[in-house]
Structure 1
Amino acid sequence: MSYDWTPEMRDRYDELVRAARERSVPATTHYTREEWRWCGDVGLLGLSVPESHGGSGLDALGTASAMEAFGYGYADMGLVFAAAAHLFACAMPIAEHGTAEIRQQVLPRLCDGRWIAGNAATEDEAGSDLTSLATKAVRTADGYRISGEKSFVSNGPVADVFVVYATTDPALGFLGVSAFVVERDRPGVTVCPPMAKTVLSRCPAGRLYLSDTPVPASARLGAEGQGAAIFQSSMRWERSCLFAGYIGLMDRLVERCVAHARERRQFGVPIGSFQAVRHRIADMKLRVEAARLLLYRACARQDAPDALLGAALAKTAVSEAAVRTALDATQIFGAAAFTGGSYEERALLGALPSTIFSGTSEMQREIIAKELGL
C-alpha cells in the first residue's frame, strides 16, 4: 500500500508550513483569539469537516499531512494540540453524529475560528474508563438535564462550546453513556480558570461544572447510549491525525540537530564527526520514519476491520518516539537546550504529555493485546 502524497497534499503542506513559519509565537501565557482565528483562516480547524458545513472535507491522509505541516512549521505545540483537540475530539463527533440542527448551528463557527470547543470527557475517577462517569444526564420532557464535574478539559477555560459525555443509564455500562453538545452560556455551566501546567502550557485546560444544565434533545450526538462508540470514533481520528503534528515536530528536531552537529565544534572538529552524536541522530531519523509509516497506515485504514489496532499502534509509536526524539535533541544541544526558552525545550515540554492524553501508552498496549486475541 502506498502512502505517497498527491500533488494537492504536497502543495497544501508547503503552503501551511510557509504560513506557520511566518508567524512568531506571542509572549502570552495561553494562545490568543487572534492566533485561533488565524488557524481558522488557513483551514486548520475544519480540515476533515465536510465542505457543506464550512470545512475542507479532507480524508484522514489529507488531514494528517496538513497537521504534520502545522507541527513542523509552528513553534508552539500548545496551539497545535489545542487546534487538533478542537477538531478531532469535538468538531468531528458533531459532524459525524450531530443532528442537522446542531451541525448547522455549530460547525461553521468551529471551522472558521469564531468558536473554540472543549472535549469534556475526563473526570477525577474516570479517565480511560468511560463507563465510570459520575456525570449524569436525566431525561426531561423536552431534552435532558446534566449534572457533574469534568477535569482536564483542554481549551475548556476559553471554550464556547463543549462535547460532554454523561451517563444516561448507569445499569447499562458502556451502553449507558451518551454525548451532548453544551454551549458555554447554558444555565448551570461553570467554567473554571486555567490550571497551572508546564507541558503544552499555551493550551489552557481546566475544570467544568454542570449543575442541572438543561439541553434540548437535539443537542444529543447519535442515539442515547452511543456515547462510548462516539468517543472511540473520535479517538480513531485523534490517535492518528492529531499525532501527525508530532511527526512534524520530530522532523524539525532532526533537521535542527543535523544543522547544529555540523556547526557546533568541540576538540577542534564538528560534533557531528563523533560517532555518539552521529548515531544518536541516525536513531532519531529511524524512529520518526518508522512512526510516520504506522501513522499513515492507520489513516489509510481508518475504516478497516483492524482500524482500532492500527490507531493504537500509531499512537503508541508516535508519542513514544516524540518523547525519545525530544530528549535526544536536548542531549545534542546540551545546556543550550535549557536556556532562553529554546525550541528544543519547548519541543520536549510539548512531547512529554503525548504518551498520556488520548489514552496512555499502557492503555494502548492493552488495546493492542486485545486486538491480537490475548
Structure 2
Amino acid sequence: MNFDFDPETREMREMVVGFARRELNGGAGFRPGPGGGTDEAAADFRHRWQLAGKQGITGSCVPAAYGGSGLDAVTAAALMEALGQGCTDTGFAFSVGAHLFASLMPLVEFGTEEQKRRWLPALCSGERIAAHGITEPEAGSDALNLRTRAERREDGYVLNGGKCFTTNAPVADVFVVQAATAPGGGYFGLTAFIVEAGTPGLTVGPPYDKTGLHGSPMADVHFEDCHVPLDQVLGGEGAGASVFTSSMKWERTCLFAAYLGTMKRVLDGTLAYVGEREQFGVPIGSNQAVSHRIVDMTLRYESARLMLYKAARGLADGSDDEIAPPSPARGERGRLQLGLDAVQLHGALGILTGEAEALVRDAMPSRIFSGTNEIQKNNIARALGLGARRSRPRPRSRAAR
C-alpha cells in the first residue's frame, strides 16, 4: 500500500491548487427572484467553467480520444481534492464533480461511439455544461419509482414530468435524464436520455436559494411533450438504472474529494490562526483544549482521506467491493464536525463570513445528496449480508398435523 502520489500527480495537484486560487475564487452566488444577480452569476460561473475546462479539469477522467485527459479514478480524485483545496467556492467544485462523474462518465460507459464523439469533446473542453436529472419530489431515495414518463413514438420518445434538485440545471447545455419507459418495471423500467437545453418542452425553473453550496446552481426541470430522438437514448431502453448505478459509483467516490480538499484548506487555515492568535500572553494553540481539538480535526481529515483513496483505487482497478464506494459519502459527520471545530476555534470570527462557517453550510447537504446517510448505510449493510430477508414459515409440529 503506497499512499504517496507519483511526481506527475503531485505536479498536477499543485498546478490545480494554484490555478484555483488565482482564477476561481470570488464568484457571485446564485439567488432566485428579481435583483438576485442570477444573470451575473451565470455569466461569471460560465467564465470560470471555461477556464477550468482549459486546464483539463472538467473532463479529467474522460478518455483522450473524446477530448478528456484519460486519468484514472485515483488521479481524478486527486485533482478534485486540489480543486476543493484551492477554490474557496465549494459549490463550484461540487458542480464540476456533478458534471463529470454523474453525467460524463455514464456517457463514456454507456454511450455509442457516435454519441461520445458528438457530446463529449465540448463537455470536456468547458464549452458546454452537463446536468443529471433523476431526483423527483416523490422519488428521492426510491429512485426506481419515477413519475417522469417516456412514451415511445415512431421517431423517438416523448417525455412528460419533472425533476428537482438538479445540479447545474440553470446553466446546463446538456441533460442526462432518467424516465420510466415501463412504469412499475423495477430495475429494467427506466431509460436514460440525452436532452439538449432549448429542446421544445424542456423548461428550467429559477435557481434555489440554499443553505450551502451557493456557487452551485440548482433548479427544477420540467418536461411537457418533450420529444427526444432515438439516437439520444443512452444505453438502450431499460438500461436507465444501470446508467444511474454507474454514475453513483463515480460520484460517491470522486465528487467527495472536493470536500476533502476543503477540509484540508480549513484545517491549514485554523492551524495558522491558533498559532498566531494570542490570549493571556500566549498563542491559543498552546492551550491543551485547543491543541486537542486541532488533533481531532487532523484525524478526521486523515481518516476521510484514507477512505476516499481506498475507494478510488478500487474504482480504478474495477473492484467489485460494494462497501468502499459509499464510505467517502458517509464521511459527512467528519466534514461537518471539522467545520464546527474551526468555528469554535475562531471564536466570534467563526460565525462571520469565512472558510469555517462556509464549510459548515456546505457540508450539510452532503448528508442528503448521492443517497442519504440512511440509504448509504443500507447499501453497506446489504454488502455485509445484513439486508432484509424473507421470513420462512415455521414447520408445523406433529401435534398440529
Asked if 1:313 is matched to 2:327, the reply is yes
Q: Is the 8 A contact 2:135 2:165 kept in 1?
A: yes
**Between Structure 1 and Structure 2, how many residues are aligned?**
371
CA distance in 1, matches of 2:171, 2:258: 22
Counterpart of 2:12 in structure 1 is: 12
Alignment of 1:1-374 (within 5 A): 1-23=1-23, 24-29=25-30, 30=41, 32-302=45-315, 303-306=318-321, 308-317=322-331, 319-339=332-352, 341-374=353-386
User: SS state of the match for residue 171, structure 1?
Assistant: coil
User: SS state of the match for residue 100, structure 2?
Assistant: helix
CA distance in 1, matches of 2:120, 2:380: 33
Computing the radius of gyration from Cα coordinates, the structure with the larger value is: 2
CA distance in 1, matches of 2:19, 2:320: 37
User: SS state of the match for residue 47, structure 1?
Assistant: coil
Tell which deviates more after alignment, 263-272 or 71-80: 263-272
What is the deviation of 1:127?
Answer: 0.8
CA distance in 2, matches of 1:165, 1:229: 11
What is the deviation of 1:64?
Answer: 0.4
- TM-score (norm. length: structure 1): 0.96
CA distance in 1, matches of 2:73, 2:312: 5
Tell which deviates more after alignment, 217-226 or 275-284: 217-226
Letter in 1 for 2:230: A
User: SS state of the match for residue 198, structure 1?
Assistant: coil
Unaligned runs of 5+ in 1: none
Q: Is the 8 A contact 1:312 1:367 kept in 2?
A: yes
CA distance in 1, matches of 2:348, 2:192: 47
Task: Write 1 or 2 for the structure with the bigger share of helix.
Answer: 1
User: SS state of the match for residue 209, structure 1?
Assistant: strand
Letter in 2 for 1:267: F
- TM-score (norm. length: structure 2): 0.90
Letter in 1 for 2:221: L
Letter in 2 for 1:309: I
CA distance in 2, matches of 1:177, 1:27: 37
User: SS state of the match for residue 104, structure 1?
Assistant: helix
CA distance in 2, matches of 1:361, 1:172: 26
Unaligned runs of 5+ in 2: 31-40, 387-401
What is the deviation of 1:28?
Answer: 4.7
RMSD (Å) for aligned C-alpha atoms: 1.2
- Deviation digits for residues 298-346 of structure 1, max 9, x if unmatched? 011112121x3111122112x221111111111111110222x212222
Q: Is the 8 A contact 2:28 2:215 kept in 1?
A: no
Q: Is the 8 A contact 2:145 2:184 kept in 1?
A: no
User: SS state of the match for residue 44, structure 1?
Assistant: coil
CA distance in 1, matches of 2:28, 2:71: 33
- Deviation digits for residues 239-295 of structure 1, max 9, x if unmatched? 111111111111111111111111111122111011111111101111111111111
Q: Identity, % of aligned pairs?
A: 46
Letter in 1 for 2:189: G
Q: Is the 8 A contact 1:131 1:177 kept in 2?
A: yes
User: SS state of the match for residue 87, structure 1?
Assistant: helix
- Deviation digits for residues 19-66 of structure 1, max 9, x if unmatched? 111133134544521111111111110011111111001000010000
Letter in 1 for 2:22: E
Q: Is the 8 A contact 2:136 2:163 kept in 1?
A: yes
User: SS state of the match for residue 344, structure 2?
Assistant: helix
